[in-house]
Every structure is written in C-alpha cells, then in structure tokens.
Structure 1
Amino acid sequence: MKSIKKQFLSFLIVSLLLLLPVSGQICFEKINPLLVNNGDLEIGVFLTLLSAEMNSMTGTEVFQSPPNKTCKPYQLIYKNYQQFPALAFTLNEINRDPNLLPNISLGFHLYNTYSNDERTLESSLRWLSGLDRLIPNYNCKEQTKSVAVLGGATSALSIQMGTLFDLYHFPQISYGPFDPVFTDKAQFPSLYQMAPKESSLHRGIVHLLVHFEWNWIGLIVFDDMKGDGFLEEMKEEMIKNKVCMSFTEKIPTSDRNHRKPSETFMPRILISEVKVIVIHTDTDSLIILGISPTPNIPTKKVWIATSHSNINTKPFYHYGYIFHATLFFSHLTNEVPEFKTLLQAAIPSQYTDGIFLKAIHPSASKCLVQPANPEQAYSPNASLKTLSLYSFEMTMSTLSYNIYNSIYAVAWALHEMLMRKSEKKSIEDEEYLLTHSWQLHSYLKNTQFKNRAGDQVFVDENRRPEAQYAIMNYVFFPNKTDLLLHVGDFIPEAPLNQDFTICADAIVWDKWGSEVPSGVCSDSCQAGFRKSPLEGKAACCFNCSPCSEGEISNQMDAEQCMKCPEDKYPNEQRDHCLPKLVTFLDVKEAWGMALTFLAILFSLLTALILCIFVKFQDTPIVKANNRNLSYTLLTSLIFCFLCSLLFIGRPTTATCLLQQTVFAVVFTVAVSSILAKTIIVVLAFRIIRPRSRIRMFLHPRMSYYVVLICSGIQGLFCAIWLGTYPPFPEADTRSESGHIILRCNEGSAFALYGVLGYMGFLALGSFTIAFLARNLPDAFNEAKFITFSMLVFCSVWISFLPTYQSTKGKAMVLVEIFSILTSSAGLLGCIFIPKCYVILLMSDENTSKHIKNHRSSLFLNSPALRRYM
C-alpha cells in the first residue's frame, strides 16, 4: 500500500528540473495533469508551477518556434518550485507513518493553475471530469477515491476554484495567505484556510517604519477586499504613529500579469520623491512590477514586502530594477525535520552547485553584524561567477509549510472518519473505504494536530493563532547572485516591547552601504524649532520655524513650543530654560550708589541752606515773602530728596506703601508752599487802595491755610488710594528676559496719575501766577525765581510721563528717582541759591539802608508788605 519511496521522490524532483532545457521553455502536448500518483485515496492538488508565455500587449499566446498546434511554450516558475518537493515529501511522510491512515495510501493528481479565470477553470474541470476534453458535470473516474482539493495560492485563485468545487461539496483547502473574506461560511462553506491569521501584519510594518524613522511612504496593494482591508488598517496604525502616506497604487487583480497596468503606475512610483514603498500583495505580487517598457531606471528606494516568497527577482534585474534595500515579512515557522536534508540528497550533484538561495540567520543572543564585503563573506567559494542565474530556497517556504499542514489536515480528518467507520464494519470489508467528499467536512473543521515541526495546527479559523514573522533582507549581488538575511522578528503575541526585534547593523542597504536610507518628507526639526504645516500637504511635510520669544522646544519635531515657567527664560538656542536672576535697584550697585549719594547730598545741601536762612532770619531778604513759608519749603525739599531713598533697595510691603504716598504728600507741601508765596507776592504788590477788601487775604495765617488745604486734599487722595488699591511688591518676570525684577506695583494706575495730576495742577497754578508777576520790582520779588523753578518742575514731570510709560524694570524706578531729584534740585536752585549768594557773598546789599535807596523803596514802605518782613 505504501507506494511512494524516497527514491521516487528524488525522481520526481529531478524530473521537474530536467523538464527545463537551456532555452528556458517547456513544451507539452497536454499540460494537465502534470503528474499523477495513484493511491487508495487521492487529493487533487493545484499548484502554480508553470506559466504560459503571454504577449505583452494583447495577452495572447506567442510561439518562439514555427506554429505547432500541439506545442505551447511554458516556463517554470522558479519561485514556486519548492511547493512540489514539499507535496511529495509530505505524502511520503504520511504514507510511511504506521499510526496515520494505516494500510491506506494517499495519492495525488497534480494540476497546474494560472493567474487568469479561463485557465484556472480549465484545470478544475479537467480534474472533475478526468478527461482531456472539458465536459462539465461529467466524471469518468472513480469518484470515491477523490476526497479533497488542495489549491489556491492566492485569494483570487481560491475564489475561482471554490465557486466550481463548492457545487460538488468538495472540501477545498487553501494554502495561500489568510484572507478574512473566506471566514464567511455562508458564502464559502467548503473552503478552509491553513495559513495563520495576518491581522497584526500592519502593526509589524509600522513598527519597522517607526524604528527607522520612516514617516513618508507609498503603498501598493491589489484592488480587492483584502487589499482594501489592509489599506484601512495601515492608515489607522500610521495615524497613531504619525506616519504619512504619499500615494496608494491599486493593481487590478484581473490584470496582475499584464504590462498595461505597470505602464500606468510604475513610472509614477519610480519618479516619486518617496523613498520607502510598502507592497502588500499575494504570491503573484511583484511580477507585474518587473514588466516595464522603460529599462535601466535606478530605484534607490526601500521596498517592504509582505512575504519573501512573493518576489520574482530576475525580471527586476533584467529591466534595470535592482532591489538592494528590500525587506520581507515572511512567516516565521519551525523547521520541518529532514526536509532540507532530503531536498539536498534528492538532487544530483550537477544541480547542487550554486542553485540554492542561501538564507543566513543571526544567532538568538547576538545580531549578525554586516561584514565589510558581503559578496565574499556570504560565499563559500572565492568566485561567484559559476552560480546559476536562478536560485532556490533550501528551507521550507511559507507556502510549502502551508501545503505540508494542509495535506496533514486532510490525512488526520480521513483518519478520524475511517476510524469511526471501522468501528461499525469489519476491517476486512473494504466498503468502509468508499467515502464521499462531503462526508469529510464534519471531521475536517474540527481537526487539530501537532506537526513534526512542533507547531499546533488548527483547521478551525476561530482558533487559528496570529502569524509570527521573520524579517528578511534580500541582497542582490552584481554578479546576479542573491541571498536572504534574517535580520529581525515580529511576534504579535509577545509581551509589550518584546514583540519587535531588528538587527539594523546586519541589513545590507544600497550598494552595501551601512547608512540607513532616509524616508521622510521633511527633515526633522531640531530642538528650538517647531513644525509649521504646509498648506495642502500631509502632516509629515512641514517647515521648521524657530520658537517665539519666551518659548522653547526641547525635543525633535516638536508640534508646538512651550513657554518657560515664570522664574525661567529661554537660552539663546531656545531649547531649554535657564533660571532668571532676581534683580532690583540695589544700593550696592552703581546706579543705586550714585542716586543714594545724590539724594543725601542734596538733602544735606538743603539742610545747610535752611540753617543759613535760620541764622540770617532777621535780614530783609530772608524776611521777604514770609520766612516761615521758606522754612516749610526747605523742610519739604529735604524730605523730597530723602523720599527717593524709598525707591532704592529690595521692595517690601512697607516701602511700597510709602513710596508714592510720601512722595506725593511732601511734593504737594513744597508746591503748595511755592503757590502760597506766589499768591502773597502778587497780592502784596497789587494792593494799591488802602481800604481794598483784598487786604483781608494778606493776613499771615492765610499762607498756612493754603499749604494745609492743598496738602490736605492730596493726603485725602492718598488715604483713599491706600484704602482701596494700595501698592504692593511684585516680581516682574516679563519686562526683561533672563531677569525677575522686584518692584512695587502701584495697585491703581488711576490713583497714581491722579495724585501726579493734582500736583501738576498746583505747579501749573504757581507757574501761571508767578509768570504774571514776573515784572514786579526786583528787590523783594521772587516771581521770576518761582517762574523759573516751576518751569523746571513742570518740564521734568511732563517729560517724566511718556518716559515712565516706555521703560521697563529697573529703568522705571531710575526714571522716577531722577525726576524726583531733578525737580527738587530745580526748586532749590532757582529759588534759594540766588538768595544764599546775596546772604553769603553780597551781605552789603542785604541791609535796610541799601533797600531804602533802591529805586523800588516805595514798595518797601508799604504797610501791607511790612507785615511779612
């Protein structure tokens, strides 16, 4: 019963190799079935091993030799070659197993499938009818021996075959990539998938993109439900990880082997600025990309494909597309024992020299480091010129592994079904072998087993585990040889941060370079800059704008700049914050010392003048215009000079409360004293009639009333100010970058300008009255001096207002102190310095005799004036 031996397996493998002449074509009169191996029970196997050469423009068959109706040119699809040895190896292994289908042999009918509906339907009908002629719904073979169908390397092929086989309830096991569409059992009740689920593949690809900081990609998918589903999953995952998509190309499934689609989208891909292309397609994926009318176009792009078995490398080289930087997500599976050894032993030595694609795997503990010269490092011989143009894998590929599990699934389901039948009938009665294909469904969907590779296999799709992926690097050498490097893994069900590993140093990039290619739309923004989106562009395309004043960005590609805390300020590069220096007008610094010295100096000078006036109080020049007002004015000026010291030093609550209020009151006393002196001078020289009613205002106490009333009003204003919005100390963090200015906040700007306005009103009144009396006799007339002093006073404080508003920080304090000292010095100098000059240096003029001889002595004898002398 066990009919397939190891020697026969060798014969089968070599026979397919020998079918390929030097010309690269196979000529069959009857291409299907390719091979028949009878058994007690048989499986229809549909593999894509041969392709009929098609005209590039019309899709019709082309003959390379004179017309021959019985001969059609075919080519062996080398990337699928391993599927046949896997089929033979699996059946041989099952038929030798005494514990699986004992005394029963499994055979197969091997048919070739094509990537078009017509040829696939033809192969299916040939298997169903068992004849060369295609007669639908007719079968000339023993139907009971056919139990299942194995086929469907792609979703399109599975649908094409399943539509026909489901009419006869044949179990169809698909070995192609997992497609969620087939989980709908209402639409596909007879179709089973053996590939693991690929619902996490998009996460693995985005992991790879994020690892290498590629955020600007193009995507190629087939225009079907699976391609659309993958596209949506990729978009969602890319948005989460800030990866952008430049373009999406959808390949029509019906035209995947024709040149016309590639003429449309291939030039767009090659000339695009995108450096990273993700390709998610089926086993026929990249064939179309290798068919292009424009040769020798350098790609210099990174290609990320979903399976290394998808690529047909040689057409790319033929048309100039050398895929150096290509990464594949291949299903990670355990190695099936003896398969590699058997494959090597089965092929004669004349076929073993350089025909196998080498796969180099890094150790589990240490990544493989890229050598300086990969061409020599990966070659067992010094010269690679003798290697064949076509290479094959020695390890079991993903599709071959699925074929292996598919046949075992059918075998275990048959085993269970036959064991149930044998319990009811005698083993000698071979009627229990008369099976119907529809009977296998109830057993097949519940089948589970552990294969010889150590993996648990479930036919039930709901119990199917997630696929695990090996990340492979495809390397193509200039001498037309190639190899695969295992550079990483993606295990979706592994713990977080352990699901993705990559050996970046082992990857061979373009021209054996070690630098990772760039895959961004815009270069990263350095710290200190922020991303400025470009109108009409994706989020990954942006300009870099420097952070605004007072803001920083301390990371790459910052979306927004952030403000420094109040006690810190940005450095010059605006990439981190520095602590601000606390500063105020300190008495120890130059400006503080200078202003303190001036305030004390002027206050001492004023005190000295007061002492001079007291000492010479009986002289006419001191007695003129009420000497008590002069004492009051000099005393207020002393306090005016000293009040500037309140503005120097670290602000406190007490100093902030006293600064403006003391300043306002003492200056009001000084200005009101000048106002009183001015009024007295005017009244004294304007009273000519002896019995004028104005004489009542020349009473000595009238000047005190003027000072008290004017100062009282200002004091009332200051009291209201302190009771409502009093000044307070504050830390000004905005006036000067890098400094925290300790200053007094006025509390109410209206109150501040109110007291200044009132004081200005008094000063303006004094100036006006003094200006009107400027031409009175000079001997006892202070009007001219008061006019000049008020002119200086008003000029200082009028210029103070705009200057104070336009300055910040310590400069505001300096301006106010300077205004206080200047205006006070102006009053002191213009009013009292000329009198001190007369008292000290021209004492002979400060006598009554001299005054009587003055041309204005008539005013001296005035009774009204003598009251103030």
Structure 2
Amino acid sequence: KFSLSILQLMLNLYCIILTLEWFWKNYQFVLVLYFTIEEINRDSHLLPNISLGFNVCNAFASDQFTLWSTLLWLSENIEALPNYNCQTNSKSIAVISGTKSAFSAEIGTLLELYRIPQVNVTYGPFHPMLSDRDQFPSLYQMAPKDSFLAHAMISLLLHFGWTWVALFVSDDMKGEQFLWDLKAEMIKNGICMAFTEKLSAPKTMYGSSDITFMSRIRVSSANVHILYGETDSLITMDVAAEFFLTTGKVWIMTRKWDIVVYEMNHMLHSFHGSFSFSHHKGEIPGFRHFLKRVNPSQYPGDFYFSKLWLHAFQCSPVGSLCGKIGVCPPNSSLEFMPGNIDIMTISDSSYFIYNAVYAIAHVLHQMLLEKIEMGSSGHTDKPRMLPWEVNKETNYMAHYDIENTVNFPAGLGLMVKVGEIFSKTPHDQVLIINDKIIEWPIGFTENSQSVCSQSCLPGFRKIPQEGRPICCFTCGFCPERHISNQTDADHCFQCSIYEYPNSERTHCIPKVVIFLAFEDSLGMTLACIALCFSVITVVVLVFFMKHKDTPIVKANNRNLSYILLISLFFTCILQQITFGLVFTVAVSTVLAKTITVILSFKIMKPGRTMRWLLVSGAVNSVIPICTLIQLIFCGIWLATSPPFIDTDAHSEHGHIIILCNKGSLTAFYCVLGYLGSLALASFTVAFLARNLPDTFNEAKFLTFSMLVFCSVWVTFLPVYHSTKGKVMVAVEVFSILTSSAGLLCCIFVPKCYIIIMRPDKNCLKNFKNRKCSRGKKTF
C-alpha cells in the first residue's frame, strides 16, 4: 500500500506539471485572438468605422471554473452570482468557446437559460451533441466533423499493412461514437482490434486515473495503438506513458492535445515517432511575425501574459513592478521559448479561432450592409446575429494533415508533416504520405508489422481460427487444381479445365494440347503396323487374284476372299462406324465361308435346294444381310449422338488430349455387341466344321481366326475402360489391328504358303484323293 501511495503521489505531481505546461501552450489561443481582432480593426473594407473588442475569460481547464467564469461575465465581472444578469446592455454579440466540448455545452446551456441573444461559436473539436439545434440553437462549431477520421486512420493502417491494433478511447459519448465508426471501417477492411481500453477523465483537476491498463500494452502482440478522446482523458494516457515506458509501439492519435517531453528521456518517450491527425489548416498571414514581436508590455492588462514571460525566461517584462527579479532583455521573444512550450507552431484550435472571429466579422459586416440598404443607420442599435446568418458561413471539408512526432533533447518536440488525406465523398479519398521522412519509434522500423498472424504467401489461403478475430488465422496450402496469386488470400480459386497449377500453386499454366499423332512414337508405331498390314493385305489380294484359277483359291471361294481382304484393308485405316461396318463385312464373310464349307462336306446327298444354294452362291447373301443390320445400328448412332472431336483435360496432368468421342456409348456398345455376336456365331459354326477333310478345308483356320478375334475383343473391354487419353485410343487401334491380323494370318497365310512353298498340293488330283480318303474314313 505504501508503494502504491508513493506512485499515486508521483502521478498527481506529474499531472500538475503536465497541466501547467499544457496551459502555457494553449496561451496561443489568446494571442491569436489579439492578432485577429487587431487585423480586422485595421481593415478599412471590413466593418469600416467599427472597432471590435473582446473579453477573455479563463476556464482553467475545469468545469467549475467554466461556470464560474461565465457567471462572472454575466454579472459584468462584479461577482459570480447565479440567477443574476447584468448583460442586457452589453455590447457583446458572440461568444467563442472551447477547448473542450463540455465547456462549450456548459456555456451554451447557460446562455440559453438566460435567453441572451449571443451566438456561441466553439473552436474545440467537433462533438455531435453540440449539433442538436433544439438544445443549442445558437451554437456553431468551427471544426469539421470527425466522421471521416476513422476512415482516414484506417487508410494509414492499410498503407503500412497494419491489421492488428489496440484502441484507447475516452469514456464518453464522443469516444463511443468514434469506437463505433472505427469498428465499422475495420470490419470493411479486414482489420482487427487486439483490445479496447476506455480512458476516464481524472476525478479532480490535478488528479490521475487508474493506469494499470498499461501492463496490457507490454504483453499485447499489437504494435500499433490508436488513441482518441478529450483532453482530460488523454492526460491520463500521457501520465501513463511517462511512468510505463513502451518502446517499439506506434501511436496514432488526433492532435487535440500536446505531449510534454523532458530532457532525460526524449527519444525513449512512448510517443516518439507517433502519428497525429489534425484538420488541414492554412497559414495565418502575419501571425508568426506577430508572435516574434509581441510582448507583455503591449497588453498590460493581461496578467497571464506577464506570468508566461516570467515562467519562460525567469525574468520580469519591461515595466513590471516586480523588483526582486531582473528585467528581461529587450530582444526577448516567444520565438525563444523553451522547447516544451511551443507557441510558434499554429495549432488546430488557433486556426479555428482565427476563422471564427473572421466568420463573425463577415456576418456582422453583411448585416450592417443590409441595414444600410434598407435605409436605417448601421450604428443605431446593437446588431443581433441570427442563427441562420452564421450557418451560411459554415463549411465542412474532410481534409487531414498527418504529422509525425519527433522528440529531441532538452524537451524539444517537433511535429513534422509527413502526409495528408482528403476526401469529398466517402468513396473518393486520396492518401499522400512521404515514407522517407518518417521518424519511427525506438525498436520499430518501416518494415515492422502489427499483425495477429503472419501473412500467408501466394499459394496458400487463410484458415480462420475458431473463436478468434478474422485477423488471426493459419495458412493452408491450396488444394489440387487451385491457386492463389496474392498475399493473404481468403480463398483459392480453381484453374480452368484448360489449365493446371504450378507446383507452388501461385499461377495457372496452360495445358499442352496433345493427341495420338503420327509424330509420336506410339502413333508412328501403330501407323506403321497399320500400313504394313494394309500392304500385306493388298499383296495377298493381288496374289490371290493372280492365282485365281488354282484349286486352292477356287476351293476357298475366291469372291468371298476378295471381299474379306478388301474389308481388312479398310479396317486397318478406319475407326468406329466405318470400322464397325467393314468388320461386319469381314466377320459375315467368314461366317459365309464357314457355312459354305459345311454345306460342301456335310451334305452327302444334297437335294435340289441345297445344290441350288451351293451353285447359285445364295450363301453369300449372309454378307449384305448382316451388314444391313449393322448399318441400321450405325444409322441410329449417327442420328442420335454421332461421334465428334472432343478434348480430355483430366486424364493426363498438364495435357489436353484431342480424341474422337464416341457420342452415344449405348450405340457404340450395340455396334460392338452385334459384331461380337457375329464373331461368336462364326466361331461356333467353324468349330462344328473342324473335323471335315483337311485338304483345302479352312474350317480349322476359320476357327482359329474367330478364336483370336473373340479373345482380342474380350480382352479389349476391361483394358479399354482402365486406360485414359492416348493410351485408350492406342488400345482401340491395337485391338482393331490385332483382330484384323488374326483374320489375315489364320485364314490367308496357310493358303499363301501352299501356293508359294508347296505348289504340288495345289492341284485338283491331290484335292480329290485327299477328299476321297478322308471321306472313306469319316463316312
């Protein structure tokens, strides 16, 4: 308890010192009032023949003194008596109040209570409560609204990539409104609050509030803090920053208060390198020159001016009655004030006071001109300003200067303008900032971050952490076929079917278009095989035509052999529908040949009908009939869903395969099934004729050819469905070539062997002897 009491005593003493320093800095408000009144009185075009005067009442930064000063003014400085008014004949036409909204509200309420026709113009920060025309019909605020301030601060955060911030606001209605506006902007821009602390004003004039919340700053991962509030609340933060040093943190605040820095800590001060937002203000022409030459002797009635001179220079002004302290040199000037009392830099409030006085002067000038135009004298009665007359002069423009606090030894603090932001509409803002001249806090650099989680690199996406703000997340690698090409992507988007992601999942790469081309090794091999088989087929056809009159060619039904060979030739080079038709011709030809063999050897005593079938070649009608049925299937296929050129972008990674789509799979399998049925029928018939006489009997060869054919296509179905892309096409082509080669080799190679190698067997005598011997053995 003893240590806490000592700390509280130290804080109270520091608050007293801080309040006094803040008081002397704000004396610039009085000086700018002197300057503006004198400038207007010297202007022959503004209020000619009329001199403006003023009364200055000190509020001592206290609500009690504000009420006391107002009552004292109402009683004409006799005594502060409630319910007493001697201002009925006063020449005052307006009241300029500040620096806190509470002061303006108290003065405005008191003036309305007494029904005094003054216009109250406040130069303090804008407060929505003071805009209530029912409660304060004659009160006007010179400061623009702070509705754009939250958006301006968010723009600065986004510029540096800070998404994890702590917020300190005053515990009042204005702080609540700013907190509401800032949260709305944060949600829209993906920025989160680490924590929020509400600052209460000290209960006494020089008291200090609880500052134990400063321990949260040290343990927080947020490196950026936003500070907003009235002067009383912010003094608490300044006290806390003095006794609880926090380095490596950036503060963003409004310049409605000043920071007192002492020689011992200067750059280690918690607010060194902070950013301040202040309403954009122009220069006051001649004011700096006025500050350089003004001295207390020019305003002998101002006791506080002499006190400021004594406090700053430790000497008495010229003409002072104080003999114990030496007289200040003649060249003493406000320009040489100590660094912790910066009067030469124009503050927001001083600029608003300057504008407020000029606004009142111009309104008064316009009123007098209107009275003169109406024929009355402009000096007979005290002019009364109406609320609407002042309201015409108000102009709100969202324009902020961004200043950087730089502290130096000997308590010198400098506010350096590093940027500005302005906007005419909420969606049309411009941020200008010079990063090179920014002075960063100790332990903080331009590249430092204030984030809850480290950024997710391209190729990753953010995965929110349950129960935590949206700024806290983990990074997950984009799934297959998805990419993200920006940092902190919320989602990965899918590549098109014609693209595939790179290994880092950062961009999509166009797939390479491929197909079973002749240039490929596989395509070239299959093409060569097909060409070889076609050439062999043509050679066999020519060879058979050359030896068409030999017994072995005649016995094998040369016309059917020609048809079979031609079908095999076209089968080698055509696909699908044409393949189905020509292979049907080939298989039906084999079936016709097999039937012919059976009719020739099985029927020993043929009747006229059988003889007619053999002699007339009616068996050959099997070919067109079977082909016609297949043609019907193909016609239905073409009419419903014909084959077409298609692309396959899924079978092979990074490739788009151009292939021939079957169209209707049902029609395709009907054609294939019908072809298989013919092959099975041919195999069955050939198998039944396997034991017939050997000479020139091709029943066994037909059986083997159909066995090869059926084996190939039975194997084809599972292999075809288990492959993709070019391999699937190659399997289909290989099956066609293999089955065609089976027919060619099993049926025609033995015949060619006899014709070429064993011409002695290719005679009618040998054929008859073989037939008779086999006939005796069998029958």
Instruction: Calculate the TM-score normalised by the size of structure 1.
Output: 0.71
Partner AA of 1:720 in structure 2: I
Q: 1:81 pairs with 6, 17, 24, which one?
A: 24
Write the deviation string for residues 196-223 of structure 1: whole angstroms up to 9, x where unpaired: 3444333432332333333444443334
C-alpha separation between the residues in 2 aligned to 1:686 and 1:393? 131
1:787-802 paired onto structure 2 within 5 Å:
787-802=703-718
C-alpha separation between the residues in 2 aligned to 1:568 and 1:597? 33
1:450-465 paired onto structure 2 within 5 Å:
459-460=390-391, 463-465=394-396
Instruction: State the Cα distance separating 1:507 from its structure 2 match.
Output: 0.7
Q: Check whether the contact 1:522–1:542 (CA below 8 A) recurs between aligned residues.
A: yes
| Helix, strand or coil at the partner of 1:483 | strand
Instruction: State the Cα distance separating 1:487 from its structure 2 match.
Output: 0.6
Partner AA of 2:753 in structure 1: Y
Q: 2:212 pairs with 251, 255, 263, which one?
A: 263
Q: Check whether the contact 1:303–1:326 (CA below 8 A) recurs between aligned residues.
A: yes
Q: 1:399 pairs with 325, 328, 349, which one?
A: 349
Q: Which moved more, 1:619-628 or 1:466-475?
A: 619-628
Q: Check whether the contact 1:291–1:315 (CA below 8 A) recurs between aligned residues.
A: no
Q: 1:637 pairs with 549, 568, 575, which one?
A: 568
**Change over 3 Å in CA distance of 1:541–1:766 after alignment to 2:** farther
RMSD: 4.8
1:586 aligned residue: 517
Q: 1:326 pairs with 274, 287, 296, which one?
A: 274
**Change over 3 Å in CA distance of 1:62–1:333 after alignment to 2:** closer
1:94 aligns with 2:43: no
Write the deviation string for residues 458-508 of structure 1: whole angstroms up to 9, x where unpaired: x42773232532210012358765322111122334999884321111111
Q: Check whether the contact 2:457–2:486 (CA below 8 A) recurs between aligned residues.
A: yes
1:482 aligns with 2:421: no
C-alpha separation between the residues in 2 aligned to 1:833 and 1:608? 11
Q: Check whether the contact 1:197–1:464 (CA below 8 A) recurs between aligned residues.
A: no
C-alpha separation between the residues in 1 aligned to 2:750 and 2:340? 116
Q: 1:827 pairs with 720, 727, 743, which one?
A: 743
C-alpha separation between the residues in 2 aligned to 1:629 and 1:198? 100
Partner AA of 2:585 in structure 1: V
1:468 aligned residue: 399
Write the deviation string for residues 739-780 of structure 1: whole angstroms up to 9, x where unpaired: 554433333332222211111111122233434554555555
C-alpha separation between the residues in 2 aligned to 1:58 and 1:166? 44
Q: 2:58 pairs with 103, 110, 120, which one?
A: 110
| Helix, strand or coil at the partner of 1:474 | strand
1:764 aligned residue: 680
2:329 aligned residue: none
| Helix, strand or coil at the partner of 1:465 | coil
Q: Structure 2: 5+ residue runs without aligned partners?
A: 296-307, 315-335
| Helix, strand or coil at the partner of 2:99 | coil
Q: Check whether the contact 2:201–2:236 (CA below 8 A) recurs between aligned residues.
A: no
Partner AA of 2:37 in structure 1: I
- Aligned pair count? 730
Instruction: State the Cα distance separating 1:328 from its structure 2 match.
Output: 0.7
Write the deviation string for residues 45-85 of structure 1: whole angstroms up to 9, x where unpaired: xxxxxxxxxx9899999998xxxxxxx97764323423224
C-alpha separation between the residues in 2 aligned to 1:480 and 1:856? 135
Partner AA of 2:636 in structure 1: I
Instruction: State the Cα distance separating 1:823 from its structure 2 match.
Output: 1.2
Instruction: Calculate the TM-score normalised by the size of structure 2.
Output: 0.78
C-alpha separation between the residues in 1 aligned to 2:253 and 2:472? 25
Instruction: State the Cα distance separating 1:707 from its structure 2 match.
Output: 1.7
Q: 1:336 pairs with 284, 291, 316, which one?
A: 284
1:277 aligned residue: 225
1:841 aligns with 2:757: yes
**Change over 3 Å in CA distance of 1:583–1:418 after alignment to 2:** closer
C-alpha separation between the residues in 1 aligned to 2:258 and 2:776? 124
**Change over 3 Å in CA distance of 1:297–1:88 after alignment to 2:** closer
Instruction: State the Cα distance separating 1:182 from its structure 2 match.
Output: 1.4
Partner AA of 2:191 in structure 1: C
Q: 2:129 pairs with 166, 178, 181, which one?
A: 181
Q: Check whether the contact 1:295–1:319 (CA below 8 A) recurs between aligned residues.
A: no
| Helix, strand or coil at the partner of 2:534 | helix
| Helix, strand or coil at the partner of 2:231 | coil
Q: 1:517 pairs with 440, 445, 448, which one?
A: 448
C-alpha separation between the residues in 2 aligned to 1:238 and 1:426? 55
1:287 aligned residue: 235
**Change over 3 Å in CA distance of 1:792–1:255 after alignment to 2:** farther
Q: 1:603 pairs with 534, 548, 554, which one?
A: 534
Q: Percent identity?
A: 44
Instruction: State the Cα distance separating 1:121 from its structure 2 match.
Output: 4.8
| Helix, strand or coil at the partner of 1:511 | coil
Q: 1:166 pairs with 109, 112, 127, which one?
A: 112
Q: Check whether the contact 1:322–1:476 (CA below 8 A) recurs between aligned residues.
A: no
**Change over 3 Å in CA distance of 1:57–1:352 after alignment to 2:** closer
Instruction: State the Cα distance separating 1:308 from its structure 2 match.
Output: 5.8
Instruction: State the Cα distance separating 1:729 from its structure 2 match.
Output: 3.5
Instruction: State the Cα distance separating 1:716 from its structure 2 match.
Output: 2.3
2:302 aligned residue: none
**Change over 3 Å in CA distance of 1:85–1:716 after alignment to 2:** closer
**Change over 3 Å in CA distance of 1:333–1:600 after alignment to 2:** closer
Partner AA of 1:811 in structure 2: V
| Helix, strand or coil at the partner of 1:195 | coil
C-alpha separation between the residues in 2 aligned to 1:320 and 1:511? 7
C-alpha separation between the residues in 2 aligned to 1:798 and 1:702? 32
2:169 aligned residue: 221
**Change over 3 Å in CA distance of 1:856–1:120 after alignment to 2:** farther
**Change over 3 Å in CA distance of 1:626–1:426 after alignment to 2:** closer
C-alpha separation between the residues in 2 aligned to 1:636 and 1:304? 88
| Helix, strand or coil at the partner of 1:278 | strand
C-alpha separation between the residues in 2 aligned to 1:58 and 1:352? 31
